[in-house]
Amino acid sequence: MRPRNEYAEPYRIKMVESIHLPEESRREEAIREAGLNLFNLDSSDVYVDLLTDSGTGAMSQEQWSAMMRGDEAYAGSRSFERLASVVRRTTGYDHLVVTHQGRGAEHLLMRSLVSEGDRIPGNMHFDTTQGHILLAGAEPVNLVIEEGRRAESDHPFKGNIDLEALEAELAAHGDRIPFVLMTITCNNNGGQPVSAENIRGAAAVASRRGIPLFFDAARFAENAYFIREREEGYGDRSPAEIAREILSLGDGCTMSAKKDGIANIGGFLALRDDELYRKAVEWQIPFEGFTTYGGLAGRDLEAVATGLGEVLEPTYLEDRLGGTRYLADLLLDEGIPIVTPPGGHGVFIDASAFLPGIPRDQFPGQALAVELYRRGGVRGVELGTAAFGRTDPDTGETIYPDMELVRLAIPRRTYTDRHLAHVARTVARVWANRDGIRGLKMTYEAPVLRHFTARYEWV
């Protein structure tokens, strides 16, 4: 087994949580009770939980200490002021609109700017973003570069937006486009980074049309570190400097602090424009809470403020991305088809290449995710037809996403390399027996974000 890197993790473990691998009979019973949907499993029935990296990481002693000074005042909380100061320093945006998590920020942005019939172009919108766009009666438009749609491409910035396609989209539909949204890193296609050069290009294209540029900045620090590693001219820059530079090119951002805030809950909308801030607050107060708490306790505001500082430390980011590369290398050694190069927050298995005999309308990604749980108690998540497929309202045909993936999202500072080795062994066992895997049919689906609550049966 190959070593991860020359050095050990930049932290040591102070508290542990007991976990166990349920017996195979219990795993079979649990997944059937869950309707073959891993979201429906009890966490006690999961051994290594890679469903998401959102809010599932381990906080530091500094974050836990900061929580003790949380100011729980309904209005004028000192904890809010501390967070606002950190956000201004980190992003360069003057206005902070706190929300309970990232999707709350998306909701406020859509309510403030999006009308029915609008089009929202971006590199690739993630599930909740796409859901909010659709709920607003608008159309999500994914314009990621062609290399970003191919699992095996070795392009260093597969999250880049196609600038020519963006120019054409704005020229054809500019009066129906309230903003451009760039997701950094790009979650759908493997946690892939966006280059600083591409962000500058997108900002210039949008600016020429007078259209604002916003970021989904949930993993902005990971994106900054990739720029430092891969883009010429940034090798001697700090992640904080790079993050500030790229965010300065936009008009604001949504943020899930459950990712690169390294907190268990929280999010925000950060804005440059005074009028848009006032409009967002009009929606914040009835849906999230007063301006200085926004659905969070003061202690949560403190945890996020501290986490936003820790996430930009180079040693943390080297370890974070190193863990992802470690798991990716183990899977590549077994011949497993994955998205390469590996992204920041997880390893993405190419389910179409893994299970070429299962057609897309039988959900090969979901079928593979179910097998990973059955074989080794590993919970991942499908990011394919179940998550992103939808029905064309004009033709009634299924609109399939570009890729059929299973994401193994790695929580921050939570699992050791031995846990990741167990994951790799589990994937290898499923790979060795892949010819016996059956497709699925969906027996229940909600009209939006169906994959969270859907139920399935084997074909």
Task: Name the active-site residue from 218, 280, 351, 409.
Answer: 218
Mean pLDDT of all residues in 266-286: 97
Pick from 310, 341, 359: which residue ends a domain?
310
Please tell me whether residues 387 and 255 are part of one structural domain. Answer: no
| pLDDT greater than 70 at residue 5 | no
Residue 19 lies in a domain: no
Indicate whether 336 and 292 sit together in one domain: no
Q: What is the pLDDT of residue 61?
A: 97
Contact 389, 401 (CB under 8 A): yes
Amino acid of residue 285: I
From CA 404, how far away is CA 419, in angstroms rounded?
A: 25
Distances (CA, A) of 183 to 85, 199, 215, 299: 24, 10, 6, 28
Mean pLDDT of 197-222: 97
- List the structure tokens of 299: 């202690």
Contact 246, 236 (CB under 8 A): no
Residue 16 lies in a domain: no
Q: Clarify whether residues 207 and 240 are in a common domain.
A: yes
The Cα–Cα gap between 220 and 187 comes to 12
Distance CA 141, CA 122 (A): 6
Structure confidence by residue, pLDDT tens digits, 383-423: 999 888 878 777 888 888 888 999 999 999 999 999 999 99
Question: Average model confidence (pLDDT) for the chain?
Answer: 95
The pLDDT of residue 127 is: 84
Neighbours of 355 (CB within 10 A): 26
Asked if residue 318 and residue 250 are part of one domain, the reply reads: no
In a domain, residue 6? The reply is no
**Does one domain contain both 30 and 113?**
no
- How buried is 327 (Cβ within 10 angstroms: 0-12 exposed, 13-18 middle, 19+ buried)? buried
C-alpha span between 408 and 328 (Å, rounded)? 10
Among 49, 216, 300, 319, the active-site one is: 216
pLDDT of 229 higher than 60:
yes
Determine the average pLDDT of the residues in 37-66: 97
**Which residue of the set 7, 11, 42, 74 is catalytic?**
74
User: Is residue 369 scored above 50 in pLDDT?
Assistant: yes
Q: For 9-26, what is the mean pLDDT?
A: 93
Q: Do 453 and 406 have their domain in common?
A: yes
Q: How far apart are CA 258 and CA 128, in angstroms?
A: 14
Assign 105 a pLDDT band (cuts: 50, 70, 90).
Answer: very high
Percentage with pLDDT > 70 across the chain: 98
Q: Which domain holds residue 228?
A: 61-310
Instruction: Let me know if 419 is a catalytic residue.
Output: no
φ/ψ region of 302 (left if φ > 0, alpha if ψ in -120 to 50, else beta) reads alpha
Average of pLDDT values for 137-158?
A: 95
- Does the pLDDT value for residue 447 go beyond 90? no
Mean pLDDT score, 119-127:
94
Q: Is the dihedral of CA 106, 199, 408, 369 positive or negative?
A: positive
Please, which residues have CB within 8 angstroms of residue 388's CB and are 6 or more apart in sequence? 127, 130, 188, 401
**What is the pTM for the complete model shown?**
0.93
Residue 432 φ/ψ, nearest 5 degrees:
-70, -25
Is 74 marked active-site? yes
Pair (334, 213) in one structural domain: no
232 and 272 inside one domain: yes
- The answer on pLDDT for 2 being more than 60 is no
Catalytic residue among 49, 53, 118, 127: 127
Residues 90 and 193: their CA atoms lie apart, in Å, by 19
Q: Indicate the helix (H) or strand (E) that contains 48.
A: strand 48-49
Average confidence (pLDDT) over 209-218: 97
Phi, psi of 47 (to 5 degrees): -90, -60
Q: Please, are residues 426 and 375 in contact by the beta-carbon 8 Å criterion? A: yes
Catalytic member of 95, 100, 158, 259: 259
What is the rounded distance in angstroms from the CA atom of residue 112 to the CA atom of residue 101?
17
3-state secondary structure of 77: coil
Distance CA 146, CA 278 (A): 38
231 and 331 in a single domain? The answer is no
Look at residue 3 in the predicted model and tell me its pLDDT.
53
pLDDT at 459: 94
CATH number at residue 108: 3.40.640.10
Residue 359 in domain: yes
| 451 catalytically annotated | yes
Domain's final residue, options 287, 310, 333: 310
Residues 400, 168, 231, 93: what is their CA dihedral angle, to the nearest 10 degrees?
A: -90
In a domain, 18, yes or no: no
Domain termination site, one of 266, 283, 310? 310
| Cα(227)–Cα(234) distance, integer angstroms | 7
pLDDT the model gives residue 1: 41
For the chain, the domain total comes to: 2
The phi-psi region of residue 327 (left if phi > 0; otherwise alpha if psi is between -120 and 50; otherwise beta) is alpha
In a domain, 276, yes or no: yes
Catalytic residue (choose from 47, 126, 226, 415)? 126
Q: What is the CATH number of the domain that holds 332?
A: 3.90.1150.10
The answer on 117 and 244 residing in a single domain is yes
User: Nearest-CA neighbor of 451 among 378, 369, 329, 358?
Assistant: 369
The least confident of 2-11, 166-175, 297-306, 396-405 is 2-11
Residue 12: inside a domain: no
Neighbours of 117 (CB within 10 A): 11
Q: What does the pLDDT look like over 314-332, one tens digit per residue?
A: 999 999 999 999 999 999 9
**Predicted confidence band of residue 6 (pLDDT cuts 50, 70, 90):** low
Looking at the fold, whether 180 and 295 belong to one and the same domain comes out as: yes
Mean predicted confidence (pLDDT) in 126-139:
92
Domain match, 338 and 435 both: yes
pLDDT of res. 363: 95
Is residue 370 in a domain? yes
